[in-house]
């Protein structure tokens, strides 16, 4: 698994985990971004991912179409 695959998988995991807490789907990318940035404090190699990339990953997920 490449580093990019690892980041994509983490975004998908966080999206599924945070989805029940969001009121509208457009809030989800920012919630996922915030959670990943909070978790980066504890990671040895922090994930570098933009909100746009997160939005694209979530948009490609069949769960959220």
Task: Give domain limits for the chain.
Answer: 3-64
> Is the pLDDT score of 65 beyond 80?
no
**SS3 for 22?**
coil
Give the pLDDT confidence score for residue 53 in this predicted structure. Answer: 97
**pLDDT tens profile 8-63:** 999 999 999 999 999 988 999 999 999 999 999 999 999 999 999 999 999 999 98
- What confidence score (pLDDT) does residue 49 get? 96
pLDDT at residue 57 in the model:
95
Residues 6+ apart with CB under 8 A from 39: 47
pTM: 0.91
Q: Which two tokens stand for residue 13?
A: 């995991």
Burial 14-38 (b: 16+ CB within 10 A, else e): bbeeebeeeeeeeebbebbbebbee
């Amino acid at each position: 698994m490449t580093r990019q695959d690892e980041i994509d998988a983490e975004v998908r995991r966080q999206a599924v985990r945070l989805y029940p807490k969001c009121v509208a789907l457009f809030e989800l990318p920012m919630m996922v971004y915030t959670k990943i940035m909070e978790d980066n404090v504890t990671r040895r190699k922090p994930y570098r991912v933009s909100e746009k990339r997160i939005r694209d990953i979530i948009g490609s997920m069949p769960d959220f179409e």
